[in-house]
Amino acid sequence: MKQVDQFKGKKVLVVGLAKSGFAAATLLKKLGAIVTVNDGKPLEENEAAQALLSEGMNVICGRHPLELLNEGFEIVVKNPGIPYSNPIVAAAVQQGTPVITEVEIAGLISEAPFIAITGTNGKTTTTTLINEIMKEDGRGTVLAGNIGEVASEVVQEAKPDDHVVIELSSFQLMGIQTFRPHIAIITNIYDAHLDYHGSKEEYAGAKMNITKNQTEEDFLIINADQEALLSMASASQAAIIPFSVHEKVENGAYIEDGTVYFQGEAIMQAADFALPGNHNLENILAAVAAVKLSGVSTAAVVRVLKRFAGVRHRTQFVREWNGRKFYNDSKATNTLATKSALTAFQSPLVLLAGGLDRGNGFDDLLPHLTSVKAIVAFGETADKWKETALKAGISQFEKADYMTDAVEKAAALSAEGDVVLLSPACASWDQYKTFEERGDIFINCVNKL
């Protein structure tokens, strides 16, 4: 870990705990900062806050009092999930106090270079693939961010010849000031999280922060099939490395006559990929570009791509039961992700969908429901899914209260040769704490059939 003095003796306010806030507060104290922690959860219910209090930090819990800012904080570190509209965060911004996320601190102290991945969809699969290929080639890696451990915690042990492979959300990237990955990837950009960002322009701008501190010595890997993304990337100082599933691209990764190429080198036949679905071709090309730029052998790339069948909760094969194949795509929390999952299969589908109602409908999925023979819906959007089934001409529709009920109904509606797919197109928070919890319950229910 690099010894830095940016925080020594400075008054720092950490807003929001959870894992990232706790790690940031602990590290900042180690770096000599005078740390105050503010979390909305009451102290008596807040084990993390109690632990920090025992470490001698000033802890204010149960509310976010604006008068805190009168104490002259020089830096605010906020949990990524707390929006900038939060009164105390908004007030800090208005008075000119720098507001960062813990990833910024991780970038300052890490001795290892970063391979950073962002995008609307595909970033977790891409991140996992890169990490697996790097390890296969004998490279030291540290997996961090949304997919791994808190970055500011795990990079403390990273060595100079390691690589920090990190998945970053738009929430984290909004707090970037000096963070500079050696290799940055933007898998794609679609409209998402507009309830947090307020506009698609702000959302896209947050994603582009991944490259704002890169220089000509760094690389930005981007989806060349998105013209808007190409246009935005032209402002980057990094070397642009494109990938495309539709056409040959100079200096990048592409597929031609069924073969994957990187900068003119044939890597392997696309037919040999273990990972299902056309949507995963983008993720594979982005990962190939990143590892080849890092000097990884082609043999390691081929070995991993021949066996890597997916990430948990992301079009994850669960089991085959009575001739039906069950897939868990609980990570599909928006219609775009569900569209990708639907197009990955040719077999007749029984779709399990539903969850938190964010006010949107599902009409944009209608062209992609042609292989769906039945829908089982749950959660707040169940009635909207019934309307969608009627519009799509899907006569077999069931409403379920819980996942156990949903899996049993889906199994009953399916036949030998069918695929039963959980791809909710909705967030999980109406019934479950996380999409992981929702997916785990689905897996358990399927394994009990």
Closest C-alpha among 61, 169, 150, 48 to residue 109: 150
| Cβ pair 420, 410 in contact under 8 A | yes
Structure tokens at 363: 């009409």
Find out if CATH 3.90.190.20 is the number for domain 316-447: yes
N residues, the chain? 449
Residue ranges of the annotated binding site for ATP are 119-125
**Centroid of chain to Cα 152:** 17
The ranges assigned to domains in the chain are 11-100, 103-307, 316-447
**Can you list the positions of beta strands (E) in 217-306?**
219-223, 239-244, 253-256, 259-262, 265-269
**Centroid of chain to Cα 281:** 17
In Å, what is the CA distance from 140 to each residue of 267, 287, 310? 23, 17, 22
SS3 content of the chain, % helix, strand, coil (to 5): 40, 20, 40
| Cβ pair 437, 430 in contact under 8 A | no
Q: Which amino acid is at 72?
A: G
- According to CATH, what is the number of the domain 11-100? 3.40.50.720
The model's pTM = 0.81
Residue 198 confidence (pLDDT): 57
Residue 370 CB partners (closer than 8 Å, separation 6+): none
Residue 197 confidence (pLDDT): 46
Choose the CATH number for 103-307 among 3.90.1150.10, 3.40.1190.10, 3.40.50.1000, 3.65.10.10.
3.40.1190.10
Residue ranges of the annotated binding site are 119-125
Residue 316 confidence (pLDDT): 87
pLDDT tens, position by position, 50-91: 999 999 999 999 999 999 999 999 999 999 888 888 899 999
Query: What totals of helices (H) and strands (E) does the chain contain, helices first?
Result: 16, 20
Q: In the block, which residue shows the tokens 């292989």?
A: 371
Q: What is the rounded end-to-end Cα distance, in angstroms, of the chain?
A: 49
Which residue ranges of the chain lie beneath pLDDT 50? Answer: 197
